[in-house]
């Protein structure tokens, strides 16, 4: 947070910088939520849509691309911790890649998945991709670095392919993957994600893999994340 030095000293006398960074984020999302009524009107006639939550710069021109910030092809800027500005049964497919782990597991993730269920048609598919916590824990407990390198790192210099960080220990890798500078809220294995989906009302929860979907249009996965990811699909029946 770039602030004049006197103001920064005053703020740090009230609360640590981590608080003010979070405050800045929440203020942004408060302003985003003020757009709810206009988004409801914009998407009120939506039918048979494909929706990408946490689309970032990878939004597709013929999809509803939802993200908390502006990016190319993002046409729905929204805070997904709240009721979605989309009508019931408007989507035939929902995709989210490396987004669910950013939501609180106890409160926000269940609410988000129930909202996904609400906007999905009967028979629609949801495809969720998250970091594979089980794979990273196995790599952590395996001898040496080979298994960890297979998941996320380049070879000899132990460099992170996503952030360019250099790691001295495997626990540093685990912390970046599981916490990502306090952005990640929960780590998932298949069993835990399946239980969350079933609790939200989804059925036929199955583990799949990179590029393989029961609704082929949803197979828009990022190739560079394939090594580290857990791929799960479910349906609304």
Angle at 217 between CA 213 and CA 222, to 5 degrees: 75
Residues 6 or more apart whose Cβ sits within 8 Å of residue 174 = 136, 137, 140
3-state helix, strand and coil shares in percent for the chain, rounded to the nearest 5? 40, 20, 40
CA dist 52 and 59 (Å) reads 7
Per-residue pLDDT of the chain (237 residues; tens, 9 = 90+): 567 888 878 878 999 988 988 999 999 999 999 999 999 999 999 999 999 999 999 999 899 999 999 998 999 999 999 999 999 999 999 999 999 999 999 999 999 999 999 999 999 999 999 999 999 999 999 999 999 999 989 877 899 988 889 999 999 999 999 999 889 999 999 999 999 999 999 999 999 999 999 999 999 999 999 999 999 999 999
H or E element, residue 162:
none
d(CA 31, CA 160): 34
Helix axes 17-33, 5-14, angle to 10 degrees: 90
CA atoms of 35 and 196, how far apart (whole Å): 29
Q: Which domains are present in the chain?
A: 35-130+188-235 (3.40.50.150), 134-178 (no CATH)
Which of 64, 67, 90 is closest to 80 using CA atoms?
67
E strand residue ranges, the chain? 49-53, 64-67, 76-77, 91-97, 120-131, 203-208, 229-235
Alpha helices by DSSP H, listed for 94-169, are 108-119, 133-141, 146-151
Which among 177, 175, 167 has a CA at the least distance from the CA of 145?
A: 167
Half-sphere exposure of 144 (CA within 13 A, CB side): 6
Q: Residue 160 in contact with residue 73, Cβ under 8 Å?
A: no
Q: Which helix (H) or strand (E) holds 87?
A: none
């Amino acid at each position: 947070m770039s602030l004049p030095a006197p103001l920064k000293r005053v703020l740090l006398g009230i609360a640590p910088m981590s608080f003010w960074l979070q405050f800045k984020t929440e203020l942004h999302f408060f302003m985003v939520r003020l757009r709810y009524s206009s988004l409801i009107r914009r998407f009120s006639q939506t039918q048979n849509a494909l929706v990408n939550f946490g689309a970032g710069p990878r939004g597709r021109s013929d999809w509803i691309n939802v993200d908390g910030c502006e990016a190319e092809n993002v046409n729905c800027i929204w805070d997904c911790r709240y009721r979605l500005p989309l009508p019931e049964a408007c989507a035939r497919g929902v995709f989210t890649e490396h987004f669910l782990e950013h939501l609180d597991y106890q409160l926000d993730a269940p609410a988000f998945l129930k909202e996904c269920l609400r906007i999905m048609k009967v028979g629609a598919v949801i495809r969720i991709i998250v970091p594979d916590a089980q794979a990273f824990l196995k790599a952590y407990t395996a001898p040496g670095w080979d298994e960890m390198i297979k998941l996320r790192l380049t070879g000899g210099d132990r460099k992170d392919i996503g952030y360019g960080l250099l790691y001295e220990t495997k626990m540093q890798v685990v912390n970046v993957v599981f916490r990502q500078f306090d952005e990640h809220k929960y780590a998932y294995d298949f069993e835990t994600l399946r239980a969350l989906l079933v609790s939200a009302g989804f059925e036929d929860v199955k583990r799949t893999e990179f590029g393989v979907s029961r609704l082929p249009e949803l197979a828009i996965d990022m190739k560079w994340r394939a090594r580290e990811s857990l791929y799960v699909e479910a349906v609304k029946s």
